[in-house]
């Protein structure tokens, strides 16, 4: 109730009370006259005052009682109004003044809860409408109130009858879905299959060997027009048309959820079950209503809006998201990769939206091309200063133009925003980047990250990357960047396709992918085409491809590019052959083990396996310490201990007994590892095992730089999607090396290679001699790292003058001077990627320098910005913007929808994503 | 009723002022078509400079032209030469039949405020064998001055 009204009400009450008192007084006087002698006037006045006080106290007591009742009933607005009444009667009332803030807080919380529920309801409704858009029928289905039970029973019985697996069952349902209209006008068979695959989402794989053996070509023409026929019916018709042999026509089988098209004879031989579309597949639909008959805002269960979530495989809920598919195509030549990532944004909702997607790319990616595709039209994005690009994007968004903006949040985390996507419309974004491949222990490695892991941000941090539950209110984490995660049991339709072409003229000895199921084609000895298998398209882990070049020994080399804008080179130096294990100085090994919530489960088990190997491989002359960290850190020993059986046994138990949980306070652990007292006989080496899921990477790297001293850091990125920016940065600034321990890697193997690395002396004091005629400039990294066994160094630079035939690399191994000759390919001087790679390396170097010389930060920011703008590169201070100014969409810009992502494989949602 | 009439009477001048404000005095997004006329020579490669000579213009996207599939892909631009209102565009085709005559080679998406004027200058053009060819460049749907390369 508004306060003025309350006051008026109180005033009226007071008048009435006074009138009543007056009546009472008169009555009392009359009574007194009748029974007792008249009292003195002062006594009457005092009695009246006492009565007034009593009335007032009674009123307040009644109001307090009311207020308490309202509070107990959670009716806070009413309680507040009552408190106001008390205050009006007695402004200094202790109860009112004391309880008021509490009620106000509760009222606010209640209000927020109501808003949150409202928001969730609206979102649910939005999702409902979106799902409906995806149902290939014009009508809306109405289901009985107990449809989930009916559906479950039906599914169970069906599966029992057919004895099919869950994957097959899901495929069966998809095959039973009616297609509104299918029209092929002389379309080739392979295109038809591709089209059906894309539109239905069913994995349809033609067995071309069998099909072609049956005399049917890939280009066999299909001519048909079908309406409201199930996908199975369409397939039947298509296969009937192309079948040439009536005794052995084409058919399809379903196995493990995959529809394979083959001949009847082959299907019999391989004993695959012919899938028969069951009549009455949609028996559970009991009626249809015309659009609009469903009551808007009716959220009660069973009201007919099935499309909230669709059960998939009987287990997972399919959540419509505005990102349909990501397609990655990469080509590798020498040790340089060019990759194009195509993201297909699609609006599954009934209203216009802005899609916002936070996604990872390699931390050393030189992103120099950005294209937005609107239908058949392609618009090349323009590089701008970040703030300017953001402003342009906001203006275009406000005016209804389709626009896209790509910003960098971390060197390996980016945000893609696409504005004004109309319902059922698709906007594609193409991003192209170059980078050099990692090389370690005989293997080249090409990695593509697919998901940003959930980061922990220390208290007080606001510039981190926050992890939020799907549908969470924007800004809920309080961090500058937020990633929303699907909850356990939820699945979005977003999947990924990936293909890498490896070209290696010297020949490929071996090629393998430990992270994913892949198909590998080998058109020639020096070429391989690797593509992700259709059964492994969930974007929840890094794709890691490793290959070995034939001939064993990799040679150092220098690549060169020249054009009118400048001359660039990229030099890769491999360790010399004689960098072999020999007596080394004693080490103090500090094992720093991340046992935070994100490491819970498979990652911590991998760490334990690696630690078991490490503890049994230490040299008797070494000393060691084990520190675990999560919310706080815990050291096994007071100080590093000699390697004895007793000490290693104790460490083994310590590690085995460790459980992962809680936050990731990495900074105190780093400081503890680097600043502990140290004896001069042992050189400190920090072995750091973590997934790197923290949002304060720059603070960590700065601390490492400030406190490193003579120590070295060897970082091990653990898990399916480690934070490679942090892991690589730790090794780079920690003057050590990085290794990755995936969930399918052997912890023992990875740790054994580490011991090989530290067992051999590094080649130090590296210097380059480019000859007299070549004038190199701006070499990056400017600070030369040491050359470890199994690990090359890569240096990018500019130059002028004439190229030498070879470059001399000088250094020292264990006090002995060593020179390596690196041949220069002077014939091939066209490799435009080198300019972008050089600029990207320069930006990395300048960013590192910001940690080291904070007083030059402003100047360095300008340098980074200028380098990025000159080379059209993505950076922290630049962004790509693309606007389709040729047309405006109708209405306002609609709601902003974050694309929720799946949790990285092996990482638990419960221990990493705060629900509040 | 009287109050309503009074309010309308008082607000009318403001409304008419707003209505008379030219549309160009707001931020808006426009598209400029870029043509190259290579006469009888097939146009296999080209480079033009487009810049704003007047007004507040920012380039926010570059799209390809319309000549079948030859120049459908968006042309490249030189980031080093890019400023708010200036861009150097270039593209090439390896197709056997490069287009002749006046060809729509690109569409440039602009964010503009107020009146503006552009200038377009052909910087280079070549035929299929790499020989230099004479061209003129022009735009449509935007006030533009076409400047021959020599006079730039």
CA dihedral over A589, A594, A595, A601, signed as positive or negative: negative
- Tell if the CB–CB gap between A885 and B82 is shorter than 8 Å: no
Looking at residue A428, the DSSP 8-state letter turns out to be: E
Most confident listed range (A116-125, A634-643, B2-11): A634-643
Q: pLDDT tens across A785-813, in order?
A: 888 888 889 999 999 999 999 899 998 88
Is the separation of the CB atoms in A768 and A808 below 8 Å?
yes
The reply to whether B86 touches chain A by the CB within 8 Å rule is no
Q: What is the pLDDT of residue A253?
A: 84
The reply to whether B79 touches chain A by the CB within 8 Å rule is yes
A881: chain B residues, CB-CB within 8 Å: 60-61
d(CA A436, CA A840): 11
Is the separation of the CB atoms in A517 and A532 below 8 Å?
yes
- Tell if the CB–CB gap between B61 and A886 is shorter than 8 Å: no
Nearest C-alpha in A relative to B33: A886
Is the separation of the CB atoms in A839 and A566 below 8 Å?
no
- Tell if the CB–CB gap between B61 and A870 is shorter than 8 Å: no
d(CA A585, CA A733): 22
Q: Where are the domains of chain A?
A: 3-33+41-92, 147-284, 323-550+878-898, 560-577+763-846, 587-759
Q: What is the pLDDT of residue A273?
A: 37
* Interface test mutation site (partner A, options B28, B58, B59, B60, max chain A beta carbons within 10 A): B60
CA A204 to chain centre: 29
- Tell if the CB–CB gap between A885 and B29 is shorter than 8 Å: yes
- Tell if the CB–CB gap between B76 and A380 is shorter than 8 Å: yes
- Tell if the CB–CB gap between A885 and B79 is shorter than 8 Å: no
B87 to chain A, closest Cα gap in Å: 10
- Tell if the CB–CB gap between A886 and B80 is shorter than 8 Å: no
Nearest Cα residue to B71 out of B82, B62, B80, B79: B62
Residue A243 has pLDDT above 90, yes or no: no
DSSP string of A628-642?
EESSSEEESSSS-EE
Q: What is the pLDDT of residue A845?
A: 94
Is the separation of the CB atoms in B138 and B146 below 8 Å?
yes
Kindly tell me the burial class for residue A899, based on how many C-beta atoms sit within 10 Å of its own C-beta (0-12, 13-18, 19 or more).
buried
What residues contact residue A370 under an 8 Å CB cut-off, 6+ apart?
Answer: A380, A381, A383, A404, A406, A429, A430, A431, A432, A874, A880, A882
Q: What radius of gyration do chain B's Cα atoms show?
A: 21
The reply to whether B59 touches chain A by the CB within 8 Å rule is yes
DSSP string of A548-596?
EETTSPPPPEEEEEEETTEEEEEEEEPPPTT--------EEEEEEEE-S
DSSP string of A485-516?
EPPTTEEES-EEEEEEEEE-TT-EEEEEESSS
Is the separation of the CB atoms in A470 and A900 below 8 Å?
yes
CA dihedral over A862, A866, A869, A872, signed as positive or negative: negative
Q: pLDDT tens across A441-481, in order?
A: 888 999 999 999 999 999 888 999 999 999 888 888 899 99
Quick check: helix, strand or coil at residue B22? coil
A869: chain B residues, CB-CB within 8 Å: 79-80, 82
Residue A356 — left, alpha, or beta (φ > 0 → left; ψ -120 to 50 → alpha)? beta
Among A295-299, A587-591, A647-651, A859-863, the least confident range: A295-299
A392: chain B residues, CB-CB within 8 Å: 58, 60, 111
Q: What radius of gyration do chain A's Cα atoms show?
A: 35
Is the separation of the CB atoms in B51 and B32 below 8 Å?
no
Query: How are beta strands B102-126 and B144-146 bridged, if at all?
Result: parallel
Residue A316 has pLDDT above 70, yes or no: no
Residue A309 has pLDDT above 50, yes or no: no
Q: pLDDT tens across A401-446, in order?
A: 999 999 999 999 999 999 999 999 999 999 999 999 998 888 899 9
Is the separation of the CB atoms in A277 and A175 below 8 Å?
yes
Nearest Cα residue to A618 out of A670, A685, A680, A681: A685
d(CA A826, CA A821): 15
The reply to whether B62 touches chain A by the CB within 8 Å rule is yes
Nearest Cα residue to A874 out of A835, A839, A828: A839
Instruction: Give the angle subtended at the CA of A364 by the CAs of A614 and A848, to the nearest 5°.
Output: 80
Rounded to two decimals, the ipTM of the complex is: 0.86
Residue A2 has pLDDT above 60, yes or no: no
Q: Which of A379, A388, A401 is facing B62, going by the closest CB pair?
A: A379
B107: chain A residues, CB-CB within 8 Å: 886
CA A365 to chain centre: 17
Mean pLDDT, to the nearest integer, of A537-550?
93
Q: pLDDT tens across A556-613, in order?
A: 889 999 988 789 999 998 887 666 656 677 899 999 999 999 998 899 999 999 999 9
d(CA A387, CA A408): 12
The reply to whether B77 touches chain A by the CB within 8 Å rule is yes
Among A73-87, A309-323, A344-358, A521-535, the least confident range: A309-323
CATH of domain A323-550+878-898: 2.60.40
- Considering the four listed CATH numbers 2.30.30, 3.30.450, 2.60.40, 1.10.10, the one that applies to the domain covering A560-577+763-846 is 2.60.40
d(CA A824, CA A569): 10
Q: What is the fold of A147-284?
A: Phage tail protein beta-alpha-beta fold (3.55.50)
Residue A618 has pLDDT above 80, yes or no: yes
d(CA A542, CA A544): 6
Q: Could you tell me how many CB contacts below 8 A there are between chain A and chain B? A: 82
Nearest C-alpha in B relative to A872: B79
Is the separation of the CB atoms in A678 and A694 below 8 Å?
no
Quick check: helix, strand or coil at residue A17? helix
Q: Residues of chain A with pLDDT > 70: what percent?
A: 81
- Tell if the CB–CB gap between A379 and B58 is shorter than 8 Å: no
* Residue-averaged pLDDT of chain A: 82
A160-168 contact pairs (CB < 8 A, 24+): A164/A254, A164/A273, A165/A256, A165/A257, A166/A313, A166/A314, A166/A315, A167/A256, A167/A257, A167/A313, A168/A254, A168/A255, A168/A256, A168/A257, A168/A275
Instruction: Give the angle subtended at the CA of A211 by the CAs of A168 and A232, to the nearest 5°.
Output: 35
Q: Which of B60, B87, B107 is facing A392, going by the closest CB pair?
A: B60
DSSP string of A34-101?
HHSPPPPHHHHHHHHHHHHHHHHHHHHHHHHHHHHHHHHTT-HHHHHHHHHHHHHH-TT-HHHHHHHH
- Tell if the CB–CB gap between A380 and B31 is shorter than 8 Å: no
Nearest Cα residue to A711 out of A653, A746, A670, A662: A670
Q: pLDDT tens across A884-905, in order?
A: 999 999 888 788 999 999 999 9
- Tell if the CB–CB gap between A379 and B74 is shorter than 8 Å: yes
A482 to each of A381, A407, A478, A490, A510, how far by Cα in Å?
24, 13, 9, 19, 40
Nearest Cα residue to A591 out of A647, A646, A631, A645: A647
Strand partners, A140: A289
d(CA A458, CA A718): 21
Nearest Cα residue to A13 out of A88, A69, A80: A88
Q: What is the fold of A587-759?
A: Rossmann fold (3.40.50)
Which domains does chain B possess?
24-151 (2.60.40.680)
Q: What is the pLDDT of residue A799?
A: 94
Quick check: helix, strand or coil at residue A430? strand
Q: What is the pLDDT of residue A167?
A: 58
Instruction: Give the angle subtended at the CA of A457 by the CAs of A452 and A459, to the nearest 5°.
Output: 170
Q: What is the pLDDT of residue A51?
A: 81
Q: What is the pLDDT of residue A43?
A: 45
DSSP string of A265-330?
HHHHHTTPPBP-PPTTTTTT--EEE-TT-SPTT--STTSS-GGG-EEETTTEEEEP-SEEEEEEEE
Q: pLDDT tens across A660-679, in order?
A: 788 889 999 999 999 998 88
Q: What is the pLDDT of residue A145?
A: 47
The reply to whether B68 touches chain A by the CB within 8 Å rule is no
Residue A136 has pLDDT above 80, yes or no: no
Mean pLDDT, to the nearest integer, of A66-94?
84
Q: Phi, psi (5° rounding) for residue A396? A: -65, -40
Q: What is the pLDDT of residue A24?
A: 42
Residue A625 has pLDDT above 80, yes or no: yes
d(CA A915, CA A116): 13
Mean pLDDT, to the nearest integer, of A497-517?
92
d(CA A276, CA A253): 9
Looking at residue A446, the DSSP 8-state letter turns out to be: E
Q: pLDDT tens across A697-713, in order?
A: 999 999 999 999 999 99
A724 to each of A231, A717, A739, B13, how far by Cα in Å?
43, 7, 10, 63
Q: pLDDT tens across A367-402, in order?
A: 999 999 998 899 999 999 999 999 999 999 999 999
Q: What is the pLDDT of residue A46?
A: 63
Instruction: Give the angle subtended at the CA of B40 by the CAs of B36 and B46, to the nearest 5°.
Output: 35
Mean pLDDT, to the nearest integer, of A845-874?
93
Q: pLDDT tens across A713-738, in order?
A: 999 999 999 999 999 999 999 989 99
Nearest Cα residue to B103 out of B37, B32, B33: B37
d(CA A129, CA A682): 66
B41 to chain A, closest Cα gap in Å: 26
Q: What is the pLDDT of residue A115?
A: 67
- Tell if the CB–CB gap between A396 and B64 is shorter than 8 Å: no
d(CA A234, CA A224): 9
| Exposure string over A480-494, b if 16+ CB within 10 A, otherwise e | bbbbbbbbeebbbbb
- Tell if the CB–CB gap between A382 and B63 is shorter than 8 Å: no
A147-284 and A323-550+878-898, same CATH topology: no
Tens of pLDDT along chain B (152 residues)? 556 665 655 555 555 544 444 556 789 999 999 999 999 999 999 999 999 999 999 999 999 987 666 788 899 999 988 887 889 999 988 877 888 999 999 999 999 999 999 999 999 999 988 899 999 999 887 788 887 765 44
Query: How are beta strands A258-263 and A204-206 bridged, if at all?
Result: parallel
The reply to whether B73 touches chain A by the CB within 8 Å rule is yes
Nearest Cα residue to B77 out of A382, A561, A866, A384: A382
Q: pLDDT tens across A518-543, in order?
A: 999 999 988 999 999 998 999 999 99
Q: What is the pLDDT of residue A518?
A: 96
Most confident listed range (A108-117, A570-579, A837-846, B136-145): A837-846
Is the separation of the CB atoms in B108 and B87 below 8 Å?
yes
């Amino acid at each position: 109730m508004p306060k003025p009204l309350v006051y008026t009400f109180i005033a009226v009450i007071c008048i009435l009370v006074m009138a009543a008192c007056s009546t009472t007084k008169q009555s009392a006087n009359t009574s007194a006259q009748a029974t007792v002698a008249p009292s003195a006037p002062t006594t009457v006045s005092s009695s009246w005052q006492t009565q007034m006080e009593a009335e007032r106290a009674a009123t307040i007591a009644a109001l307090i009682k009311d207020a308490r009742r309202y509070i107990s009933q959670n009716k806070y607005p009413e309680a507040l109004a009552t408190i106001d009444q008390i205050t009006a009667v007695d402004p200094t009332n202790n109860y009112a003044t004391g309880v008021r803030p509490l009620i106000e807080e509760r009222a606010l919380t209640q209000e927020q809860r109501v808003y949150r529920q409202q928001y969730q309801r609206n979102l649910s409704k939005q999702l409902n409408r979106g799902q409906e858009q995806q149902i290939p029928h014009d009508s809306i289905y109405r289901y009985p109130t107990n449809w989930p039970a009916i559906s479950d029973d039906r599914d169970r019985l069906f599966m029992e009858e057919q004895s099919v697996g869950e994957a097959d069952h899901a495929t069966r349902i998809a095959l039973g879905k009616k297609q509104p209209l299918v029209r092929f006008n002389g379309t080739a068979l392979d295109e038809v299959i591709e089209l059906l695959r894309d539109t239905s989402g069913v994995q349809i794989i033609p067995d071309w060997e069998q099909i072609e053996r049956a005399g049917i070509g890939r280009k066999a023409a299909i001519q048909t027009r079908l309406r409201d026929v199930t996908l199975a019916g369409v397939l039947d018709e298509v296969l009937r048309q192309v079948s040439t042999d009536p005794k052995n026509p084409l058919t399809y089988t379903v196995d493990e959820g995959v529809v394979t098209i083959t001949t009847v004879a082959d299907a019999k031989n391989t004993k695959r079950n012919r899938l028969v579309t069951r009549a009455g597949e949609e028996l559970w639909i009991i009626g249809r209503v015309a659009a609009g008959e469903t009551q808007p805002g009716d959220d009660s269960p069973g009201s007919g809006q099935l499309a909230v979530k669709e059960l998939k495989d009987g287990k997972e809920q399919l959540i419509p998201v505005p990102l349909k598919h990501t397609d990655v195509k990469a080509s590798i030549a020498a040790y340089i990769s060019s990759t194009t990532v195509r993201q297909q944004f699609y609006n599954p909702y009934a209203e216009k939206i802005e899609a916002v997607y936070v996604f990872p790319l390699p931390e050393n990616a030189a992103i120099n091309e950005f294209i937005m595709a609107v239908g058949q039209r392609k618009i090349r994005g323009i590089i701008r200063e970040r703030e300017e690009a953001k402003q342009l994007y906001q203006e275009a968004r406000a005016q209804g133009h389709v626009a896209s903006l790509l910003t960098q949040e971390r060197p390996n985390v980016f945000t893609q925003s696409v504005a004004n996507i109309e319902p059922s419309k698709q906007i594609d974004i193409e991003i192209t980047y170059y980078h050099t491949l990692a090389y370690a222990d005989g293997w080249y490695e090409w990695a593509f990250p697919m998901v940003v892991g959930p980061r922990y941000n220390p208290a007080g941090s606001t510039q981190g990357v926050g992890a939020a539950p799907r549908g969470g209110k924007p800004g809920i984490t309080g961090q500058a960047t937020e990633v929303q995660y699907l909850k356990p049991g939820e699945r979005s339709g977003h999947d990924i396709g990936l293909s890498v072409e490896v070209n290696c003229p010297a020949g490929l000895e071996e090629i393998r992918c430990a992270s994913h199921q892949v198909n590998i084609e080998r058109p020639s000895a020096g070429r391989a085409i690797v593509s992700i298998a259709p059964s492994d398209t969930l974007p929840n882990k890094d794709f890691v491809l490793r290959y070995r070049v034939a001939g064993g020994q990799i040679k150092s080399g220098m690549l060169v590019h020249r054009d009118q804008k400048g001359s660039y080179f990229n030099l890769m130096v491999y360790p010399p052959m004689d960098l072999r294990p020999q007596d080394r100085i004693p080490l103090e090994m500090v094992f720093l083990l991340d046992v935070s919530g994100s490491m819970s489960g498979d990652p911590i088990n991998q760490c334990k396996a690696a630690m078991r190997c490490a503890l049994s491989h230490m040299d008797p002359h070494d000393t060691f310490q084990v520190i675990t960290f999560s919310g706080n850190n815990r050291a096994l020993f007071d100080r590093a201990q000699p390697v004895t059986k007793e000490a290693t046994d104790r460490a083994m138990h310590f590690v085995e007994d460790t459980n992962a949980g809680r936050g990731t306070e990495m900074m105190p652990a780093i400081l503890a590892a680097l600043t502990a007292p140290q004896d001069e006989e042992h050189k400190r080496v920090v072995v750091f095992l973590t997934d790197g899921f923290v949002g304060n990477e720059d603070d960590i790297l700065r601390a490492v730089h400030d406190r490193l001293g003579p120590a070295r850091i060897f970082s091990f990125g653990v898990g399916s999607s480690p934070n490679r920016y942090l892991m690589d940065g730790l090794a780079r600034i920690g003057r050590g090396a990085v290794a990755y321990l995936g969930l399918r890697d052997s912890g023992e193997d990875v740790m054994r290679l580490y011991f090989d690395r530290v067992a051999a002396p590094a080649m130090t004091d590296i210097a380059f001699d480019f000859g007299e005629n070549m004038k190199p400039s701006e070499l990056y990294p400017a600070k030369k790292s040491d050359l470890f066994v199994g690990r090359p160094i890569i240096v990018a630079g500019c130059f002028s003058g004439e190229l030498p035939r070879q470059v001399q690399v000088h250094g020292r191994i264990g006090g002995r001077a060593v020179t390596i000759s690196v041949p220069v390919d002077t014939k091939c001087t066209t490799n435009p990627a080198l300019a972008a790679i050089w600029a990207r390396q320069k930006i990395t170097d300048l960013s590192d320098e910001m940690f080291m010389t904070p007083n030059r930060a402003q100047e360095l920011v300008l340098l980074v910005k200028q380098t990025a703008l000159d080379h059209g590169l993505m950076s922290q201070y630049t962004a790509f913007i693309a606007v389709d100014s040729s047309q405006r969409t109708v209405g306002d810009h609609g709601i902003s929808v974050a694309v929720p992502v799946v949790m990285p494989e092996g990482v638990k949602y419960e221990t990493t994503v705060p629900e509040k | 009723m009287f109050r309503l009439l009074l309010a309308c009477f008082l607000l009318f001048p403001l409304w008419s002022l707003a209505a008379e404000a030219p549309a160009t005095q707001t931020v808006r997004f426009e598209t400029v078509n870029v043509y190259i006329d290579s006469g009888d020579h097939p146009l296999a490669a080209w480079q033009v400079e487009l810049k704003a000579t007047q007004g507040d213009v920012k380039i926010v996207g570059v799209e390809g032209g319309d000549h079948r599939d030859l120049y459908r892909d968006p042309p490249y631009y030189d980031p080093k030469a890019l400023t708010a209102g200036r861009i150097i565009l270039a593209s090439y085709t390896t197709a056997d039949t490069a287009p002749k005559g006046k060809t729509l080679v690109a569409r440039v998406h602009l964010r503009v405020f107020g009146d503006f004027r552009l200038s377009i200058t052909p910087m280079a053009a070549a035929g299929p064998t790499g020989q230099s060819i004479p061209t003129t460049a022009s735009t449509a749907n935007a006030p533009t001055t076409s400047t021959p390369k020599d006079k730039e």
